[in-house]
Chain A
Amino acid sequence: MIKAQNLVKWFGPKLAVDGVSFEVKRGEVLGFLGPNGAGKSTTMRMITGFLPPSGGTVTIDGHDIMDDGIAARAAVGYLPENAPAYPEMTVQGFLKFVAELHGLRGKARQEAVDKVIDTCFLEPVRHQTIETLSKGYRHRTCFAQSILADPPVLVLDEPTDGLDPNQKHEVRNLIKRMGESKAIIISTHILEEVDAVCSRVIIIDRGKLVFNGRPSELKNRSRQAGSVVVRVRDREAQEVTALVAKLDEVDTCFVMEQDAASALLQVVPKRDAEDKPRPLAASLAATLQKEGVAFDELHTQPGRLDDVFRTITVSETSKEGQAL
């Protein structure tokens, strides 16, 4: 549905986006990650046709965003950063206006407006002017206009910005539900959101694409991914560490905390040929049992996204620094 090829954007002498390519299919929710100023919003503005790219192409559902702009834009619902709207209009008036620009008239228009007012919980403020709304309502009004015409493609720049935890939860569920039948791009810097809604992740840093894959692949990159934490009782920590280190799968093992009665150990597995952590929990538990070591807690740690995010973006940044 969305195909971006080799996108480049210059702002005067400054290169904001440098050769970004990716594709989003129907049924996918793509998470767009990156530090502030990495080029996320600029890329989204090129995808929606607001900024003409300095190089490269974007096609939406087979329509080029520059050459066949109207057909391409008709297929895209867009929530810009900061959720702009016309402050002097009422919520209902604004949504009607957007519906009319999408060619909806009469009954179809009223139905579309009523439906999004319902899905986005805007009923209490339907007749209020947008300038009098709280940030959360304003944001949801702009979100409502993006899904109003039920477009097959959604581009949402920070869709949960400024919402309270309940509203965030609602919006994420909504995105997840719509993601089954649409192609969606969301940008965010909340990593738990990626976990909650995205089926694929792209990270850009300084205008360059540095990661494109599934959230689980991203997590596997974390040094913590697949490591097992175990709490052993009534044994010397050093003794157990030596025992565990003999296992084939184990890379390192260290003591996290220790008191008179118990010790908490973290066991990091070796990685296989594809750089995935080898499964460890079962063999570790078997060994401990065989040796008669009592333990009352044992679990495998998932990788942590913020950990990976930091490694990927920071290391790319410092590489850049060295090159200069």
Chain B
Amino acid sequence: MSALSNIWVIAKRELGSYFASPVAYVFMVIFLLLTGFFTFMMGNFFARGEASMASFFLWHPWLYLFLVPAVGMRLWSEERRSGSLELLLTMPISGWQAIVGKFLAAWAFLALAMALTFPMIITVAFLGDPDGGVIAAGYVGSFLLAGTYLAVTSMTSSMTRNQVVSFITSVVVCLFLVLCGWPPVTAMLVNWAPAWLVDGVANFSVMPHYDGLQRGVVDLRDMAYFASVMVFSLFTTGVILRCHRVG
């Protein structure tokens, strides 16, 4: 009970700090402009001739690749740079509560940005008769994808007090998560690595799990994949924060 309320207190403060600066508004505007641009111009929304949001969700893994690290890069690096980490970690709360609280705040912020894409749903519903279940599954997938990137960013952000380093590192790690199942990457391994390693690396990819949800298939294994990457990354965040203090 008190753990939940501590998480809530941390999350509330963190979310408030997003809106205390223009960053939140700038981010939302850019996010909405880019999703619009990708959906209509690059995704050929109208030429597809179907009442679905496939061309909307198609670009999310690439869009989030840059936007999510931009939201999460300051999570821990800013605390470390300004010294407020010392204040936060000497409060009567445990470290994991702070980690989860800050992560949930950033995730809620992304969810809010996502919710503001609702005109897309209205557009599709107006033009035709879309499958509501597929759209809902699409949003769930997009939300989980954002959370996965964000957890990775939380981890890279705890490694450094420099936000730029944190941003670049998380873009690279997330790019790996996107590309590692892609044939050119597996082809690089397939000539010399044992088959189990090639499969292992390929299974790290977010794409098959994301695509499943975009087709409207809610598979427990996909959920388990997203959840385990998030839990692992947040756990590692805690380990890294502790390592810095052990010296």
| Chain B positions within 8 Å of A159 at CB level | none
Known: A70-B94, A88-B17. A12 touches B84 (CB 8 A): no
Selected from B10, B17, B83, B90, the residue in CB contact (under 8 A) with A89 is: B17
CB distance from B34 to the nearest CB of A (A): 26
A295, CB-defined interface residue at 8 Å? no
Q: With CB as the reference atom, state the residue of chain A lying closest to B84.
A: A84
A281 at the interface (CB under 8 A from B): no
Residues of B51-77 whose CB lies within 8 A of A: none
Is A88 in contact with B21, judged by CB distance below 8 angstroms?
yes
A67-108 contacts to B, CB under 8 A, are 69-71, 73-74, 76, 78, 80-82, 84-89, 93, 97-98, 100-103
Q: Tell me, in angstroms, the Cα distance from A70 to B87 when the chains sit together.
A: 14
B17, closest chain A residue (CB): A88
Q: Is B20 an interface residue (CB 8 A)?
A: yes
**Residue in A51, A69, A84, A93 whose beta carbon sits within 8 Å of that of B247 in the complex:** A51
Closest A residue by C-beta to B88 = A101
Interface segment out of the listed A42-50, A232-240, A298-306: A42-50
Please name all residues of chain A whose beta carbon is closer than 8 Å to the beta carbon of B90 when the two chains form the complex.
48-50, 73, 76, 78, 80
Judge whether A22 is part of the interface by a CB distance below 8 angstroms: no
Beta-carbon contact of A100 and B83 below 8 Å: no
CA distance A103 to B6 in the complex (A): 8
Contact indicator A86/B17 (Cβ below 8 Å):
yes
In the assembled complex, how far is the CB of residue A93 from the closest CB belonging to chain B, in whole angstroms? Answer: 7
Chain B residue nearest in CB terms to A11: B247
Contact B92 A84 (CB under 8 A): no
The residues in B between 11 and 35 inclusive whose CB is less than 8 angstroms from any CB of A are 13, 16-17, 20-21
Which residue of A is nearest B93, CB measured?
A: A101
Q: Are A50 and B245 in contact (CB under 8 A)?
A: yes
* CB < 8 Å neighbour of B83 from A71, A78, A82: A82
The yes or no answer to A59 lying at the interface (CB within 8 A) is no
Contacts of B13 in A (CB 8 A): 86, 89, 97
Contact between B91 and A102 (Cβ–Cβ < 8 Å)?
yes
Complex Cα distance A114/B128, Å?
58
The A-B contact count (CB < 8 A) is: 74
Of B2, B17, B21, B86, which is within 8 A of A80 by CB? B86
Q: Is the CB of B82 within 8 A of A98?
A: no
- Among B89, B90, B94, B245, max chain A CB count under 10 A is at B90
Is A52 an interface residue, CB under 8 A from the partner?
A: yes
Task: Tell me whether B92 and A70 are in contact (CB under 8 A).
Answer: yes
A140 to B95, CA, bound (A): 26
Q: Is A110 an interface residue (CB 8 A)?
A: no
By the criterion CB–CB under 8 Å, are B247 and A85 in contact? Answer: no
> Residue A200 at the B interface, CB < 8 A?
no
How many interface residues does chain A have, given as a range? 35 or more
Contact B247 A97 (CB under 8 A): no
Cα distance, A27 to B226, chains bound together (Å): 54
Q: Which of B192-247 contact A (CB under 8 A)?
A: 242, 245-247
A70 to B2, CA, bound (A): 12
Residue of A nearest to B244 (CB): A51
Q: Which residue of B lies closest to A85 (CB)?
A: B84
Residues of A within 8 A of B84 (CB): 84-86
Known: A9-B247, A70-B94, A103-B2. A97 touches B9 (CB 8 A): yes
Given contacts A12-B247, A88-B21, is CB(A74)–CB(B16) below 8 Å?
Answer: no
User: In chain B between 79 and 121, which residues have their CB closer than 8 angstroms to a CB of chain A?
Assistant: 82-84, 86-87, 89-94
CA distance A313 to B247 in the complex (A): 26
Interchain CB contact under 8 A, B9 and A69: no
Q: Given the complex of chains A and B, what is the CA–CA distance between A45 and B87 in angstroms?
A: 10
* Chain A residues closer than 8 Å to B20, beta-carbon distance: 88-89, 129
Closest chain B CB from A141 CB (angstroms): 11
Which of A45, A74, A100, A101 neighbours the largest number of chain B CB atoms within 10 Å of its CB?
A: A101
Q: A10-B247, A51-B247, A88-B21 are in contact. Are A98 and B86 (CB under 8 A)?
A: no
Known: A54-B247, A86-B17. A145 touches B87 (CB 8 A): yes
Contact check, B21 vs A101: say whether CB atoms are below 8 A apart.
no
Compute how far the CA of A12 lies from the CA of B10 in the bound complex, rounded to whole angstroms.
32
Q: Which residues of A contact B91 (CB under 8 A)?
A: 73, 98, 101-102
What residues of A have a CB within 8 angstroms of the CB of B17 in the complex? 86, 88-89
Q: Which residues on the A side are within 8 Å of B245 (C-beta)?
A: 50-52
Hey, which chain A residues are within 8 Å of B92, CB to CB?
70-71, 73-74, 101-103
Minimum CB distance partner of A98 in chain B: B91
Nearest Cβ distance between residue A17 and chain B, in whole angstroms? 11
User: Taking beta carbons and an 8 Å cutoff, which residues of A are in contact with B?
Assistant: 9-12, 45, 48-52, 54, 69-71, 73-74, 76, 78, 80-82, 84-89, 93, 97-98, 100-103, 129, 142, 145
**Which residues from chain B sit less than 8 Å from chain A, CB to CB?**
2, 6, 9-10, 13, 16-17, 20-21, 82-84, 86-87, 89-94, 242, 245-247
Q: List 8 A-B contacts (CB under 8 A).
A: A11-B247, A52-B245, A70-B94, A82-B83, A85-B84, A89-B20, A97-B13, A103-B2
Beyond the given A71-B92, A86-B17, A102-B91, please list 5 additional residue pairs across the A-B interface where CB-CB is below 8 A.
A9-B247, A81-B83, A87-B82, A101-B93, A102-B92
> Closest 6 interchain pairs by CB?
A84-B83, A74-B92, A88-B20, A100-B9, A11-B247, A84-B84
